[in-house]
Chain A
Amino acid sequence: MSENLLPLPGDLVAFITEWKPKPGNLVMVLHRVQETYGYIPHEVVVEVSRLLEIPLAKIYGVVTFYHFFSLKKPGKHKIAVCMGTACYLKGGQALLDEIASILQCRAGEVSEDGKFSVDSVRCIGCCGLAPVLTIDGKVYGDLTPAKIAGLIAPFQNES
């Protein structure tokens, strides 16, 4: 990878330094790493391990336990389809299928051009609008498979 992930940005280092003396800091630091990079890059884990003096194996044990943490670089736009109970009943799966057929990218994957990543998530608290999905955090509700193409077109077409 050609990206320069290191050295860690100053505010991340400051965060780690602030949390280092607090017990149970690891999960909070990992949240901050993911917030900074959009995922948890290996190079950064190595640095975190050094700074917090926590073995790499332990960090990976924690990262892989929690669904929220991702070791994979996400697409430029993040699509998250709700598969909570209300959305499931109202056709969440059909939305996922439609997205998969348009983007050739299923839940948990990143599209080939790196433009989209697709995930399924659980109840985002908008069950009244079910079925819902979010694109880059913005919620779209009352969806049908027919509405999907129009919804993602603007993101596909941007250069």
Chain B
Amino acid sequence: MKKLTQETLKQLADEKRADANHQALPKYVLVCGGTGCHANTGKEIYDELQKEVEKQGAAGKVKVIMTGCFGFCEQGPIVKVLPHEAFYVHVKVSDAAEIIREDIVGGRVIERLLYKEPGQAVAGKIDDMKFYKKQRRVVLRNCGFIAPEDIAEYIGRDGYAAIAKVIATMKPDDVIEEMKKSGLRGRGGAGFPTWMKWNFCKMQIADQKYMVCNADEGDPGAYMDRSTIEGDPHAVLEGLMIAGFAIGANKGFIYIRAEYPLAIERLEIAMQQAREYGVLGDDILGTGFNFDIEIRLGAGAFVCGEETALLASIEGERGMPRPRPPFPAIKGLWGKPTCVNNVESLASIPYILLNGGEEFAKVGTEKSKGTKVFALTGKIANSGLVEVPMGTTLREIIFDIGGGCKHGKKFKAVQTGGPSGGVLTEAHLDTPIDYDNLIAVGSMMGSGGMIVMDEDDCIVDIVRFYLDFSVDESCGKCAPCRIGGRKLLNILNKIAEGKGEDADVEQIKTIADAMRKASLCALGQTTPNPALSIIRYFNDELLVHIRDKKCPAGKCKKLLSFAIDKTKCIGCGLCAKKCPAGCIAPSSEPPAEGKKRSPYVISASDCLKCGECFSACKFKAVVKG
């Protein structure tokens, strides 16, 4: 491959445009290659479709593409056929032959595989689907659309046109000015204006500067950054390069979790192709601009998502946060000025530079511009990856896009911001989402995890989960976080075990206050947030745990009790057979009238509260309380 120049890049883009937009051939089959589908036989489906195309002589009439995540992961594996927008869900490997034979060759849509909205008999257009209707794809503009392993498709969608334009027509200050117009704020959680960070770093005078992409994504239950990389790796590379141009760095690092093998592989392929095409490395597009990128693997420490810890980790050290100031923009990697940006921030940048900051800022709220990607998960009907304009309400995301709670259960709470965020209630559903609104209600944007809970979930249990996580992930460098987190967890454990006291609530607040004020990094400062949010919004449920020693959702095992209702028990003995503790036995009472056997009783002191008897009894005689 001859390296591209400004001129030949344009030619190649023109040449590939039709194909990259699925217009060069009569039909295109898109197979979701996002982690959810890929891991769930998506790859096999893709291989089988390719084979069938050959076998059934459809080559030349159709192209089968493996893309990134379509977003609607709940329905995976998904196969889309264009241009007629057949949206096939829960596809099996064995369906591949039929898809090619019927749809591609025969021109007949396969009814039984089509996605239909609940309660509707016919399938509609994809953009009209409730799941997609309120979404707007800027960051994910290519994700689920192009083949991430083929740079030509990215170029056909104006890929690398932004860096070409930047190098040819702009100065670093112009780039920063454009970013200022866009209003982009960091998507890694803190929401710091990107242009300011770049400007800060640009002003430093140094022989070497670094640009770093934060792809650590440690929030458990969030996979936005992973999907962005898997679906559109070149956008991240291009964003990193543009940032490098703006701050005056010629070297970039991508720090990515080792737990993301598919994303790493796609990045490696993308980097290799970008080097071959001359859009990465020395003398990019023949302009004399140099920028190269190296991948560094994380190793499963949440705190390494914090930027100073991340830099320590790239340096090969234990990933512990360092005091700021000095900020990385002044003293970062190996003491050199360094700018750290999140994956989603970076993936927005080519769009901003190509279309202008004003265009990007057309959507959003006054202080939070653009769109935000969320991983919508938990007890939600339509679990998946969604991108919405800032200012969309939680209700729109959870009920219109997400379809409400699964199995018709009642919505209870939604958690944003991961272990650093808060639990919000029904009363917050009409809050338009942006950085400031979420903080005002006691949560935060975080990186984009959005976890929905229903009536069966216990609020004390979920806070214990997050605290357990934060305590486990505390690096231990400073005492407020190391000791405070442990104390908070102990209190919550105590409450969940029925040993809570009224004074615990005040105690949580006192510890939280100390942690917020005295922890070195944001991990410790935000660890109390989930606990504080339940004091604020779920005080009743908390007090039921503390005072009545009851768990209304039946999740806190120690607060449960099992008993047999002797009027219902027929004495079949099934529960006793299942009981692992052997604590169920026939009572000495004589059988009730009309019954053959004596009722059984549970010896509460030996009961393990496993619930086996409750599930075993066919007569609903075992009662849980």
Binding site for B on A (CB under 8 A): 23-28, 30-31, 61-62, 65-69, 83-90, 121-130, 137-139, 141
A28 contact from B219, B297, B375, Cβ within 8 A: B297
Q: Which residues of B contact A25 (CB under 8 A)?
A: 316
Whether A121 and B36, one on each chain, are in contact in the complex, defined by CB atoms closer than 8 angstroms, is: no
Q: Is B182 at the interface (CB under 8 A from chain A)?
A: no
Known: A89-B379, A125-B35, A128-B74. A26 touches B316 (CB 8 A): yes
Which positions 217-231 of chain B face chain A at CB distance < 8 Å?
218-223, 226-227
Whether B383 and A62, one on each chain, are in contact in the complex, defined by CB atoms closer than 8 angstroms, is: no
Q: Is B462 at the interface (CB under 8 A from chain A)?
A: yes
A127 contact from B73, B299, B318, B453, Cβ within 8 A: B73
A128 contact from B73, B259, B475, Cβ within 8 A: B73
Question: Given known contacts A85-B418, A89-B451, what 14 new A-B pairs fall within 8 Å (CB)?
Answer: A27-B314, A30-B299, A65-B301, A65-B319, A66-B319, A68-B299, A68-B301, A84-B221, A85-B220, A86-B383, A123-B220, A124-B39, A125-B36, A128-B383
Whether A65 and B318, one on each chain, are in contact in the complex, defined by CB atoms closer than 8 angstroms, is: yes
Known: A61-B318, A83-B220, A141-B40. A130 touches B301 (CB 8 A): no
Q: In the complex, A126→B316 CA distance in Å?
A: 30
Whether A24 and B315, one on each chain, are in contact in the complex, defined by CB atoms closer than 8 angstroms, is: yes
A-contact bits for B293-316, CB 8 A (1 contact / 0 none): 000111111000000000001111
Whether A125 and B383, one on each chain, are in contact in the complex, defined by CB atoms closer than 8 angstroms, is: no
Q: Which residues of B contact A122 (CB under 8 A)?
A: 218, 220-221, 259, 469
A-contact bits for B177-204, CB 8 A (1 contact / 0 none): 0000000000000000000000000000
Q: Which residues of A contact B619 (CB under 8 A)?
A: none
Q: Which residues of A contact B74 (CB under 8 A)?
A: 128
Whether A89 and B258, one on each chain, are in contact in the complex, defined by CB atoms closer than 8 angstroms, is: no
A-contact bits for B249-280, CB 8 A (1 contact / 0 none): 00000000011110000000000000000000
Whether A85 and B259, one on each chain, are in contact in the complex, defined by CB atoms closer than 8 angstroms, is: no
Whether A86 and B316, one on each chain, are in contact in the complex, defined by CB atoms closer than 8 angstroms, is: no
Whether B451 and A85, one on each chain, are in contact in the complex, defined by CB atoms closer than 8 angstroms, is: yes
Q: Nearest CB to that of B469 among chain A residues?
A: A122
Whether A27 and B377, one on each chain, are in contact in the complex, defined by CB atoms closer than 8 angstroms, is: no
Within the complex, the shortest CB–CB distance from B580 to chain A, in Å, comes to: 9
Instruction: Give 18 pairs: A residue, B residue, CB < 8 Å, sorted on A.
Output: A27-B313, A30-B299, A67-B301, A68-B258, A85-B377, A85-B418, A86-B377, A86-B451, A87-B221, A89-B451, A90-B379, A122-B218, A122-B221, A125-B35, A126-B36, A126-B73, A128-B73, A128-B384
Q: Nearest CB to that of B301 among chain A residues?
A: A66
Q: Nearest CB to that of A87 among chain B residues?
A: B221
A123 contact from B223, B319, B384, Cβ within 8 A: B223
Q: Nearest CB to that of A142 among chain B residues?
A: B40
Within the complex, the shortest CB–CB distance from A30 to chain B, in Å, comes to: 8
Q: Which residues of A contact B415 (CB under 8 A)?
A: 85
Binding site for A on B (CB under 8 A): 35-36, 39-40, 73-74, 76, 218-223, 226-227, 258-261, 296-301, 313-319, 334, 375, 377-379, 383-384, 415, 418, 449, 451, 453, 457, 462, 465-466, 469, 475
Q: In the complex, A82→B259 CA distance in Å?
A: 12
Q: In the complex, A96→B74 CA distance in Å?
A: 23
Query: Which 9 residue pairs spanning A and B have beta carbons closest together?
Result: A85-B221, A128-B73, A68-B300, A66-B299, A139-B39, A67-B300, A125-B223, A26-B316, A86-B377
Within the complex, the shortest CB–CB distance from A101 to chain B, in Å, comes to: 9
Q: Nearest CB to that of B406 among chain A residues?
A: A90
> Is chain B's binding surface mostly helix, strand, loop or mixed?
mixed
Whether A27 and B35, one on each chain, are in contact in the complex, defined by CB atoms closer than 8 angstroms, is: no
Q: In the complex, A89→B454 CA distance in Å?
A: 10
Q: In the complex, A24→B338 CA distance in Å?
A: 16
Whether A27 and B299, one on each chain, are in contact in the complex, defined by CB atoms closer than 8 angstroms, is: yes
Q: In the complex, A138→B262 CA distance in Å?
A: 12
Known: A85-B449, A139-B39. A23 touches B384 (CB 8 A): no
Whether A69 and B299, one on each chain, are in contact in the complex, defined by CB atoms closer than 8 angstroms, is: yes
Within the complex, the shortest CB–CB distance from A1 to chain B, in Å, comes to: 25
Q: Which residues of A contact B319 (CB under 8 A)?
A: 65-66
Q: Nearest CB to that of B465 among chain A residues?
A: A88
Q: Which residues of A contact B384 (CB under 8 A)?
A: 128
Q: Which residues of A contact B35 (CB under 8 A)?
A: 124-126
Q: Which residues of A contact B315 (CB under 8 A)?
A: 23-24
Within the complex, the shortest CB–CB distance from B87 to chain A, in Å, comes to: 16
Whether B297 and A31, one on each chain, are in contact in the complex, defined by CB atoms closer than 8 angstroms, is: yes
Q: Nearest CB to that of B610 among chain A residues?
A: A97
Whether A129 and B40, one on each chain, are in contact in the complex, defined by CB atoms closer than 8 angstroms, is: yes
Q: In the complex, A83→B419 CA distance in Å?
A: 14
Within the complex, the shortest CB–CB distance from A148 to chain B, in Å, comes to: 15
Q: Nearest CB to that of A32 among chain B residues?
A: B297
Whether B316 and A23, one on each chain, are in contact in the complex, defined by CB atoms closer than 8 angstroms, is: yes
Q: Which residues of A contact B469 (CB under 8 A)?
A: 122
Whether A84 and B220, one on each chain, are in contact in the complex, defined by CB atoms closer than 8 angstroms, is: yes
Q: Which residues of A contact B449 (CB under 8 A)?
A: 85
Q: Which residues of B contact A23 (CB under 8 A)?
A: 315-316, 334
Q: Which residues of A contact B383 (CB under 8 A)?
A: 86, 127-128, 130
Most chain B beta carbons < 10 A, residue from A86, A127, A137, A138 = A127
